[in-house]
Structures are given as C-alpha cells and as structure tokens.
Structure 1
Amino acid sequence: MNCAYANLTASQQLWDCSDEYIAAAIHGFADAGLRQAIETMLFRTPRSRIRWARAVFVPPSILSALARFNDHQLNRHIIRNGRTPLEALRHMRRVVTDEHSLGGIAAHRNASADLLATFRASGLPVIRFSLAGNPSTPADILEAIALDAGKDERRVLAGNPGATEKLLGTLWHNANDDEHLRAEIAAHPRCPDDLLPAALGSSCDVIRRKLASNPNVTHDQLMMLLSDPVAAVRVEAIKYIPACDIDESDLAASVRKQTARRVNLSAQLVARLANDECAAVRRWLARNPSLDVEHLALLSKDAASDVRRSVARNVSCPQHLLRHLATDKNPWVRAGVSFRTDLEADVMRLFAHEDDTDVLSGIGKNPAAPGRWLKRIAASENADLRRAVILNPNAPSALLRQLSEDPYAFNRITLVEQPTLPMSTLLALLSDPEPQVRFMAAMRLARTGLEREITQRSCCWSDMDAAVNLPRASNAKENDYENTCAG
C-alpha cells in the first residue's frame, strides 16, 4: 500500500477523488458542486455509465444521477438495479416509452403506490403482470386486472400480499381446474373464511398443505389436517398446532422431525423422540432450546455425531455437558462447542492444542479465545480461518492491522466493517488494490464521522480537466472486478 497516502487524514484521502471508487462512495454525502464533479469523472463514457448502473453495490444517489441522462439503454440497466431509489423511478416513468422498461418500473420493489397508480390505464401484458405481483400496487388496480386476467396473472395476483378478500374470492370461483391457484388463495391471510372449508375438503393435497399455513385456520381445522393421509400436509399442520395438543409420534419421519422442533412438548413425547430410530429426528430434538438437561445428557452420548453436535449448539446445554463434548472424538462435535461464546475458562482451555480446521474456525470467532490463540490462527494459510479472526469482536487491534494485508480480497472486504478496526488501518485500506475494499472503506468513513464535513465542503478540485482525464487503474484485480460488475 502507498504509505504516504495512508498517512493522510481521512478528510484529505476522501477528497482525493482521483480514485473513482472512493468518489462513488462519498457521492451521496457531497454537496451539489462536489457531486457534479464526481459525476463528471464517473460518467465519462457510455460504457462507464452502464458499468455503474449495473454495479450491485452502487449508492442510490449515483443511480439517480444516471437516470438524468435519459438514455434508453442506460435506463434499462438502472431499472434492473434493485438499489434504484424511488426518485429515479419517478423520473424514468416520465421519460421511458418502451414497454419492457415500463414493466420493470412497475415491478420494482422501490416503486410506491402513487407511482404504480400511473399505470392504471395500461393494457400492456408486461405491465399488467408486473403490477399483479408488486405488493405496493393499489387494491383497485389488482381487482381491475383480475377481471380479464390470464392464468399466470391470476396466480401472481393470488400471492400478492395486497390482494383483498373480494379479489381472492373472485379468483377462487374463476379458478376452474387450476389447483395451484386455489392453493395460493388458501394460504393467503385474507382468504375469505367461507372458502376455508372448501379448501379443507379439497382432494388436492397441495391445497390442503397450503391451507395449513393460513393464520386464520381454526384449531379444529388444524387438527383435521394433522390427521391428513398425506405426510406433507401433516408436516405443515404441526407447525401451527399448540404443542400441548401434540400427544403422539407420527409414522412419517418428516412429521416427527418437525415435531422435534416444537418447544414445550410433553415429557412423554420428548422421551419417544429422544429414542427415535431416525437420527434426523434426534438431531432436531437435540437443538430444541426447551429440552431438559436429562434428555440433553442422553443425546450427548448419541451414536450419531450430528446429534451430539446439535447438543453442543443448543443454547440450553449446561457447562458440564459442553466440557464432555469438547473432548469428543469427532472434530465436528468439538467444533460445535468451540463456537459457544458462553464457555467457562476451563472448557475453553481444552482446545489449547487443537489443530482441526473446523474447531479452529469456531475458536477464531469466539470472543472468549485468548489473544495468543487468535494470533496463531491468524497466521494460518487457510483464508477461512483468518477471516474467523477478522469476525471476532475481541480481536486485538494489532492483529486487525496485520490482517489488513491479507492476500484474500474478501477477507479485507470483511475487515472494513469490523467496528473495532483502528482508524489508521481503515485509512490505509483507502489505497487497497481491490476496488471494493476502497469503496467500502470510504463509505464507512463517510458514514461514521465525516457526514457534517462532506455536506459542508465545496468542490476541492482546482483543476477539473485533470480530474476528468485521470487514467484508469490498470492492475489486473481492478480490471477483473470491473468485468464482474459489467457482467
């Protein structure tokens, strides 16, 4: 890294906008004059504008600025970007004319109800379909679409959270033989109550299964679904039946697995599940936080290593069982213990000579791990182990500074967001060879301490021509990253 650059203050580095990724990061915090200067640099060519429009990390303010170009090809990329803000969508609604772009606006998750209402009179299929599936679409528009909706439109309408009882009733009665449409209606929280018995008595198991997830289904209806001949229906029903009403094991392992996840089961049922022939059932039971110590102790000696690991991951597992599992012959079980942040010191010491990668990963993330252990793990050739230390909230500052030179870019990207990262290290990352590291470092600096200065500062570029014509970075990592954004 450039040591001289790293020694500059945060303000000096952020305002050195010769780096377009740093410039992009501070764009949303800048005043009008500086924003214009940043845009002049970033949007030099049609290709560069499209590259920014397609970047998944791009700030919404940049997308708003790009929308003002009123370029047909560029707009299509902006509309596809999930970060595009409402103001940009409103602008493009006024200038866009092709139906695919209009359909993209109508489908966008950031579109508001008033914006979607401007499509009320449209009869274009692509726009109708987009409106039918957008949760923000006004109810009267959904009902208007339903009047002459095709099969695909009806299914999307039935799954829309904004669908009304009236709409769902109309769709049900016009469903003909479309069982999947009726299944979506049966699961909808606004499904009319008078349709629930019809769904309950349906010969289609998909409809009955979806009905079980409806929050308005009565207790008696759930109990009927619990005795359904199809296991998939019973699996769904048992998720919502009060645990006190579950008094026996099901013949289907899939249902017993779901049962084992329920809290406050009867002691008799827990005993049966703890001795279930299916290891997956015992594994889910072993993770159940309401399990008593007696059954946790039984499952901690289970022949299946996945069951013993589940005991180790159970938040209710007592220290004496964790101490036993920390010496398990299977490293996957020991790893389950090593991730625990509530380990007593004597249990943690059992890992002093551990060399298994999975266990070391847990130790590396564990805030109770001694600093000397973290130092040893941070020196590993395994990038995942080094990242484990980066994610440790108690990692020493000196260790984080060392890891800022990690050869794996994703580790440095992860490092940027760690709250204990020293400011000097964060500043050094502004000159990182990886573009996304520089971008995220600048974004964090802008978010966490320079907002006031950024909003007050005027454009600092004395020579605009020099800034606009800066050469593009040529190192291979940056080119690869740009190709990823463009692709």
Structure 2
Amino acid sequence: MITPEGIREAAALPERRLAGLALNPSAPEDVLLRLLADGPAAARMVLCRDRALPDAVVDAAVAHPDRYTRSFFARNPHAEPSQRARLVDDPEWFVRAHLADGPRLPWAVRPRPLPDRAVVHMIRTYENELLGGTFHRQISAGLMRSMHAHPDAKVRRMGVSWSGVPDEALDALLADPDDEVREMVLLRLRHKDPEWVERELPDRPCHARTGMLTNDALSRGVVERVLASPDTPDDRFMIAGNPTLPADAVRRLAVDADPEVREQIAFRSDLGAEERRVLAGDTDPRVRLAVSVHPALSEAERAAIDYEVPVDGTFGAWPRSLVARDHGEVRRDAVSGHPMLRRRAAREPSLPADLVERLAADDDLGVRVLLAQNHPDAPPALLLRSFLEYTGPEREHLLTRPRFPTAGLARHAGDTDPAVRALAARDPAAAAETVERLTRDPDPGVRAAGAGHPNLPRARLAELLEDGELAHRAAANPALDPAVMRRLVAPLPLRDDAAG
C-alpha cells in the first residue's frame, strides 16, 4: 500500500513544484481544481490534506474517483468536520477508516468533533475494527456523556466502554434489553469486587495485571501478598497509586525502600499528616518534590520542604480535558508560591484574564511557556519570549498559536539560532534583501522559510522555482503571479501511478 511518505519521496522536481502550488494560499480556484483533477499524487495529497479548501474544491475532493485522494481529505484538520463527514458512507473501507481515525494532529491537540449524527451513524454501521484507535477523540463531550442512554444498543455499548457508567444510570443499564450492554456493565462492576479481582488477577506480568493492580478494588489478600512477596518488581509501585489501598498499606509504602514507590505514594490525596511529614524529609529529591504539591499542605508547609523544581522539562501542549477543573482550585494553584502548582494552572485553557496576566510575568520558565503553549489568549509578547527562551520539545508548537506576533521579527534575521533566524520570514514587512539572504542561509529550514516570503525579489523567486530543494516552497509563495501558476499547470495531466 502506498504511503504518504512514499508519495513524497517518489516525487520528482515537477511534482514537488506542483505540490507547493497546491498549498499556495493565493492559488485561484481553477488552478486548484486542475491540480485535483489532473495533478500528480504529491499535489493531490497536500491539496486535500494540508490546507483549507474553497467549497467547489471540497465538492470535487469528496467526489474524486481516487480513493487515496478522498482519504487524504478525510484526515484534513483544516476542513470543517461537516465537510469531512460527507465521506461517512464512502464505498471504500479505506476512506471510511481514515475518516474514523481522524485528522492529522499532534497528540495534545484534540480535533474538532464530527457532527453527532455522523458519529452515531458510524458507530451503527462501521465495522468495530474501524472504530478503535483515535475515533473517540472526534466525539463531542455532550454525545460522549449521553451515549450510555442512546436508543441504539451499539451506541450504548460504546458509551459503556468509553465513558463508563454514571451511578445514576447503573440500575437502568443492569436491566438493559441488550445482552452485551448488561454484560459490559457487569464486567465493570466486577472490577469493583475485591474477591473477583483476587480470583482473576493474573500471576504473571501482563497488561491485565497492571490494570487491575493500578485501578481495581484490592482485597486484603492481594495487598498483603504484594507487600510480602510481590510476583513482579513493579507490583508495589502499581498498588501505591490504587485508590482502594487501605491506610495501613499507605503508611507502609511511605517508607518503602524503593524511592519510586515512595514518590508514587507521595502523590496520594489521602496521605495522613504523619506520612506527609516523613515524605517531606525524604532523602530522594523526587519524593520531596512530589509531596510538596500535596493539596493538604499550606503554603508555609510547602515552603518548608527542600524541594527542587526541574527547569529542563518538556513544556508543551496538553490535551484539553472534557471535564473542566474546579475554578477555585485553579486559582489557588495560580497564586501559589510553588512553581509546580503554577505550572499546573498555566496548562488550563480556561484560565481567566487576570491570572493570564499574572502568570505571563511569572519568574519560572515552565509557567510562562506552558501558558503560552496552552492558553488561547496568551499575549503575543509572551509567545515570542517563550520561543526565544525555550528550546525543548514542542517548541515549534508555539508558532501555531493564533496570536504569535509577526511585526518586527525581521530583526532576528542574524540570530545564531536557525529557528530564531527563520522567524524573520514571518515578518510581512521584512525587506526584500533580508528575505533573499534568508534563502541563501546555511540552514535548510531558514532557506525554506525565506522562499515562501511574498517580499522575495521576483527574479530570485523565479530562480527558486527551478531549484531542486526549494521549488515546492517557492511555488507556495503567495506573491507568485497567477499567470505563472497557470503556466505551471498547463502541461497537466501529469498523473502517476502512485495513488490512482
């Protein structure tokens, strides 16, 4: 089966140039339609997958005879969910599978949900194997909460499987007319039965054993066996986070020889005052840090702990929870003297304006960058400062934030960091000579950024259209003359055998 990577690698210069043209925001509709109808696979792939499209091009993509082309549109994160949902009954399972799998997005970015009607139709009519993976991420919060009560049994089954059973709905689901729904509910209840858990617990390392020791109701027999003679080295760590762990076992694990077990225990909200005191003086800095954020501690008690806050962590985007945190808790975290609690608050996209302003000026790098990465109203100055100061994983995500500034970025064209030099190409007022210099930069990313700037001198733009490395970026330059665009598509069709 041809892959997107294979299509890209197989593309010669003319195909790469047309792929760049397909991404040009100034390309006229007729050029896009011509690329879709007669262009090579590389152009059709990026056209349908990597940009927003005019309605007429959407119509043509949905009706395209090539299944690969339709499947690319099925995963387009720029398309409206209702547009993608037009493929819900595509005759090819391949296209339906890509629609169910969802748009191509970073893990932390939740896609916009498909229309509820489309989701229900997919659950009712698609094979179960197409509904695994990331399909659940495309379901609206409202539908997810109500699926257990849906009239269709298959939807109820999915609801019980994905979102659990609300206590108020338990009796009705135990009497559900569908055998599978009742069995799924009973299975969930069994995991709350300590005797059943003890009887069914595997005696060898496996996913089921990990899940049961971590989440299920633990009997006294299971707890004592793990404490006395665990079957695997990780058993004590796994039960340390189990919410059903009895208080005496919590006390014993708070002084366990393994610092990872003590660290896990330190995160428990049910720690007693004595356990908190002991862990606060632990010899391991990770344990002290973990207990220092315990919700039962006062600010004075936190400050008395000798904790060390890591400054070299990953400060990236966090997936948005379907359940919002308590506003009072978020505010307490935001005004805390503990940087780790302020970092936790900075990840909240619903943080109010006064706290956004406060945390944007925080003296902790992690707080500032997490706010920039996750809040929709992060100030432009904070976004730029974060990009300049943070060089860790997911740095590039900052550039996708809607308020990232552009004005004045040309002043960074001489920076020693290539990622910062490339910012100059985002400045709409960058001088032509600056942009041309960027296209000759030693770094390929900077060269590519410069090739797409509309202020690039026309002679240099024409030269780059023939450049093996930068032709695709030059063809995507919005300043490209529409007459040139039409000349580029004039030799079509250049259809290949890669996809269709």
TM range (shorter): 0.3 to 0.5
> TM-score, length-normalised on structure 2?
0.46
TM-score (norm 1): 0.47
**Structure number with bigger Rg:** 1
Determine which structure has the larger helix proportion and give its number.
1
